[in-house]
Amino acid sequence: TDTFIMSQTNTSLLDEVVQWSQETCRQEIKSVLPKLTISSRTQSSREPSLTYKNHTGILKIITEMFLPHIGLSELEEECFSKILPKAVAMFDNMMKEIMNQVGELSSQNTELCTFLRNILQAMVQLIDALSICVRHVASFEEGLCLDAIRSLPTCILKVLRETFQHCKVFFVSTVSLYKTDDSLSG
């Protein structure tokens, strides 16, 4: 029941925060940002695609509403070190979920199609949030020290590697499937 109470509290906090102006976000960042980063770790659901949607929703709130108010010197400790490792883990889990389910995919299996579509939409939202992080870092005119953003390059590289690794595996398996079909029909 503690998780349920925590989830209800987080839901009401999220409902409240999305209504805030940028000025309110700036004023409340020190008290709310830690709650949002904890919220992104504690929300769970029996349905993975719903959990992904919740997590990417929180990530979107953090990056769109609070990130603009975080200075370069505070980015890593206040934000990136807390949300980006979770984003990478979530992306990895989404890729695994897709790989586990894609073999059963058919146009008749509408439930699975919906499930996979929801995961893909969550992946797009996660990548959008990461893009916002990169644009925010690029907007600073002062010299950039990688130590000030050490989680961001690592996160971006892991997501890119995982994406292209998935594409490579999918391509190789598709090509070998066609070669097998050709040799059987030839």
pLDDT digit string (tens) for the chain, length 186 residues: 333 333 444 678 888 999 999 999 999 999 999 988 876 554 444 566 668 888 899 999 999 999 999 999 999 999 999 999 999 999 999 999 888 887 777 777 788 888 888 999 999 999 999 999 999 999 998 888 888 899 999 999 999 988 888 667 666 655 555 565 555 555
What tokens appear for 54 in the block? 């919740």
Asked if 36 contacts 61 with a C-beta cutoff of 8 angstroms, the reply is: yes
Whole-model pTM: value is: 0.79
pLDDT at 74: 92
In this structure, which amino acid lies at residue 113? C
- Residue 25 and residue 28: Cα distance in Å, rounded? 5
Centre a 10 Å sphere on the Cβ of residue 29 and count the other Cβ atoms it contains.
Answer: 20
